[in-house]
A and B are shown apart, each in its own frame.
Chain A
């Protein structure tokens, strides 16, 4: 039940990270640190208009500028795409084409209209200002509902509509369920647009390396393997001539799960010019050019009987695609499609999602990708239902959630949750929170008319992560699989190379994967080197996103390790002159059953496999194990999050006083890293609720276009968190683990907003649009006082 389970091996121990020495001494290999001789620096000129026709471009002054080698415009690469979408979610989806450089039309502020290549980055940026472009405005399309009205300007004229797709998933008969209901509650929730803001801006270096036709591309990406395939498909450069390396990557959160036009251009130009080409985005560029997250309007309806039994739910989404479809833009809202029922039993779920083009930066995956939105909807509407019924909100949840003895449980959308114990996590969280005492304080403040009111926010969530069974992905029209690869290689000296297809950017894979392999093959953690993020050294992989690295990659590590151990067992038996069946393996040592003095070690076997002087017949030299694992199912972590929110009813100021969460991610490989993932997720989810939000004006200009305007929380804006875990091992994962990378971001947003509303519901407030800024909250209170909301 506590964070640190009893363990004798490496798994379960809060081992300090291997990664930290280089990171703490400034010896990290960020892409922007790569300075190759002869590098050409690329700078991008971006559209200042949201939607316009390009009528004239004059590059002559830029070409004459100091240090400038080339200036390219769209006409120089008329057929080169800048990105691609691998998830055409419906048969009749309206796809889009984002050119590497715009040819005749720009569709969002930040669209690339020209690039300068110069000997120096500053000179490249200087020359951008000398490019003269004439635009003819075509009309911005900022609001999704306006975009769908007849007569709206069209983001893609040839499509004849701004409607990208409509996806429906009717589960059960919602209308029949609703007909039985005593209470029907509906709300409109705005899941606002967020800007990911990895601390490391995107950066790419592409260089022909001379020994062959191969071009190496270092890029700050989560997906080196997927990117290699897509770069080959988009550019026509043979895949076997492209090596993608993700060196140290400074945060991802989905923002680096992408194929970007700057990567395409750097690759193509490095090949064309035969020299290294480098581009690094500024933070201001990041705001407009790196994909955004969320941005949904959610119309939610829930139907229940008067005793609080939930019957069904209706979900109608508008999802903002932005101007173009990038890698999984249309699929992102659908990653939440199966999760709108959350942890609750119900007989019907009617889901519709309408994707809409607007003249804004494309959206795509951002920490949680679809599940924060679905979790927000269900956890918010459960609070509204409780209020309507006059029930205590936790009691309503308890009445409807899946009981721990009911697992495995096939929920209304057809997913089978393998395990869970919502009762245990909730009990622990309420105890840590001091739930009852806070309810008493809340009542006292209310009775006293305290200007600062107290609210308790609840979020009892689950999510689906660990993307994913390949067949399921195929059925959903996703064009790739969801497997993961690992090779564990014993070197002649007994050291281990663990080659993984996952690609970390802060998650500590080098440490955690070593812990898994250490327990399986019985060598010390420090003797294991984890190799990742390089298609030249780690040829197979599906990379890191969707909390999949341990949930899927961990399975491959286990199986690869076991295969190495089994091959070594045959060699050990031969050395010890017994049958493999008579060999026991424990902690790196092979010994003869009943005669433990007769033994050898895995390191000794590795050397025998290298010399190959005395191997049994039919056994090949070298010692390694390799596995590619397709998961049986998604991973379903869950937890209970509680927030104590104080709201100053006179100013609208919201304060997060206390945050408690108890997550259940099954078996923890490294509880220290798990806790760190939870903390970071909480910060991002709380930030959505309280601080962050992209704001566009009617002309499609991003008003929150720098860190001076977009409120990324600092240490002073957040409290410390009280976290713990319950451990309900997954039954579909051989290590019993579940994903944890996104849980905090998924669960925390509704907890905060439920808490804010709980503090001021007695004033008549039953909804707050995020972020819950003082102005928003104050206005909601005023509106409620004057009879509206």
Chain B
């Protein structure tokens, strides 16, 4: 077992983990942060996407030991208090989710996409979210949501 400590959604967390423990399993099973979902076992679906030090990663492709000393933001820590992040708001406004299982990862990937490229074209959004699979929406409204969030975030900065 290896000792790790990290900031998870703004809270200092530490624990003993097996070397093989994936970040997503540490989040879900040890910390009870079950807002992040697991959709596959081949790192294809992106449902488990979180931010590590502000950049998106698939938390199934990172070992828990690798985030020692780092800061993790999940869907549960994206909004502050009662507030909604503009991306969350845009997903609701644009009906960018149906069953919602891919949504935690899709939102976090979108947040990262917009931090890299605040004003993406439709093609850039589609390429940027290529690693996140959704089976319900056909992506049409997800793309609209990211465009809407980009407009709102651009307007407020």
* Cβ contacts B118-131/A at 8 Å (1 or 0 each): 00001001110111
**Which of A122, A251, A682 is close to B99, meaning CB atoms less than 8 Å apart?**
A251
Assess whether A30 is in contact with B136, with CB atoms less than 8 Å apart: no
A266 interface contact, C-beta 8 A: no
A197 interface contact, C-beta 8 A: yes
Q: Using a Cβ–Cβ cut-off of 8 Å, how many residues does chain A contribute to the interface with B?
A: 54
Within 8 A of B (CB), among A13-37: 16-17, 19-21, 23-28, 30, 32-33, 35
CB-CB nearest in chain A for B33: A26
Task: Tell whether A712 pairs with B92 under 8 Å between CB atoms, given A199-B102, A283-B41, A676-B141.
Answer: no
Assess whether A251 is in contact with B135, with CB atoms less than 8 Å apart: yes
A578 interface contact, C-beta 8 A: no
* Cβ contacts B133-157/A at 8 Å (1 or 0 each): 1111111111100000000000000
Give the docked Cα–Cα distance between A282 and B41 (Å).
7
Within 8 A of A (CB), among B87-140: 88, 91-93, 95, 97-104, 107, 122, 125-127, 129-140
Give the docked Cα–Cα distance between A248 and B25 (Å).
20
B66 interface contact, C-beta 8 A: no
**Smallest CB separation, B26 vs chain A (Å):** 12
**Which of B25, B35, B135 is close to A253, meaning CB atoms less than 8 Å apart?**
B135
**Smallest CB separation, B83 vs chain A (Å):** 10
* Cβ contacts A718-729/B at 8 Å (1 or 0 each): 101100000000
Assess whether A19 is in contact with B143, with CB atoms less than 8 Å apart: no
Assess whether B93 is in contact with A16, with CB atoms less than 8 Å apart: yes
**Which of A27, A28, A680 is close to B136, meaning CB atoms less than 8 Å apart?**
A680
A707 interface contact, C-beta 8 A: yes
Task: Tell whether A17 pairs with B95 under 8 Å between CB atoms, given A679-B138, A684-B135, A718-B138.
Answer: yes
| Interface locus among A54-62, A324-332, A504-512 | A504-512
Within 8 A of A (CB), among B55-88: 74-76, 78-79, 84, 88
A394 interface contact, C-beta 8 A: no
Give the docked Cα–Cα distance between A296 and B83 (Å).
51
**Smallest CB separation, B76 vs chain A (Å):** 4
**Smallest CB separation, A359 vs chain B (Å):** 25
A-B contact count (CB 8 A): 171
**Smallest CB separation, A746 vs chain B (Å):** 14
B8 interface contact, C-beta 8 A: no
With a cutoff of 8 Å between Cβ atoms, the chain A residues found around residue B122 in the complex are 720
Give the docked Cα–Cα distance between A508 and B79 (Å).
23
Assess whether A25 is in contact with B76, with CB atoms less than 8 Å apart: yes
Assess whether A199 is in contact with B91, with CB atoms less than 8 Å apart: no
Assess whether A199 is in contact with B133, with CB atoms less than 8 Å apart: yes
Grouping DSSP codes into helix (H, G, I), strand (E, B) and loop, the B interface class, with mixed when no group exceeds half, is loop
Q: Which of B76, B97, B127, B135 has the most CB of A within 10 A?
A: B135
With a cutoff of 8 Å between Cβ atoms, the chain B residues found around residue A33 in the complex are 28, 34
Assess whether A249 is in contact with B139, with CB atoms less than 8 Å apart: no
A284 interface contact, C-beta 8 A: yes
With a cutoff of 8 Å between Cβ atoms, the chain A residues found around residue B98 in the complex are 251, 506-508, 676, 680
With a cutoff of 8 Å between Cβ atoms, the chain B residues found around residue A199 in the complex are 37, 39, 45, 47, 99, 101-102, 133-136
With a cutoff of 8 Å between Cβ atoms, the chain B residues found around residue A676 in the complex are 95, 98, 136-137, 141
**Smallest CB separation, B126 vs chain A (Å):** 4
Give the docked Cα–Cα distance between A684 and B107 (Å).
22
Task: Tell whether A715 pairs with B129 under 8 Å between CB atoms, given A679-B140, A720-B122.
Answer: yes
**Smallest CB separation, A212 vs chain B (Å):** 28
Q: Which of B38, B42, B95, B134 has the most CB of A within 10 A?
A: B95
Within 8 A of B (CB), among A627-650: none
Task: Tell whether A721 pairs with B136 under 8 Å between CB atoms, given A16-B93, A24-B91, A680-B98.
Answer: no
Give the docked Cα–Cα distance between A33 and B24 (Å).
13
With a cutoff of 8 Å between Cβ atoms, the chain B residues found around residue A17 in the complex are 92, 95
Give the docked Cα–Cα distance between A744 and B138 (Å).
10
Task: Tell whether A26 pairs with B45 under 8 Å between CB atoms, given A506-B98, A676-B141, A715-B143.
Answer: no
Assess whether B79 is in contact with A200, with CB atoms less than 8 Å apart: no
A673 interface contact, C-beta 8 A: yes
**Which of B47, B88, B102, B139 is close to A718, meaning CB atoms less than 8 Å apart?**
B139
With a cutoff of 8 Å between Cβ atoms, the chain A residues found around residue B29 in the complex are 35
A716 interface contact, C-beta 8 A: yes
A250 interface contact, C-beta 8 A: yes
Task: Tell whether A20 pairs with B142 under 8 Å between CB atoms, given A25-B76, A680-B137, A684-B135.
Answer: no
Assess whether A714 is in contact with B132, with CB atoms less than 8 Å apart: yes
Q: Which of A19, A20, A26, A27 has the most CB of B within 10 A?
A: A26
With a cutoff of 8 Å between Cβ atoms, the chain A residues found around residue B76 in the complex are 25-27
Q: Which of A33, A506, A714 has the most CB of B within 10 A?
A: A714
The 8 closest A-B pairs by CB, nearest first: A26-B35, A250-B101, A23-B100, A506-B99, A683-B138, A707-B44, A506-B98, A679-B138
Chain A to chain B contacts (Cβ below 8 Å), 17 pairs: A24-B91, A24-B92, A26-B36, A199-B102, A248-B100, A250-B99, A251-B98, A283-B45, A507-B98, A680-B138, A683-B139, A706-B40, A714-B130, A714-B131, A714-B132, A715-B125, A718-B139
- A residues sitting closer than 8 Å to B (CB atoms) are 16-17, 19-21, 23-28, 30, 32-33, 35, 122, 197-201, 248-251, 253, 282-284, 505-508, 672-673, 675-676, 679-684, 706-708, 712, 714-716, 718, 720-721, 744
- B residues sitting closer than 8 Å to A (CB atoms) are 25, 28-29, 32-42, 44-45, 47, 74-76, 78-79, 84, 88, 91-93, 95, 97-104, 107, 122, 125-127, 129-143
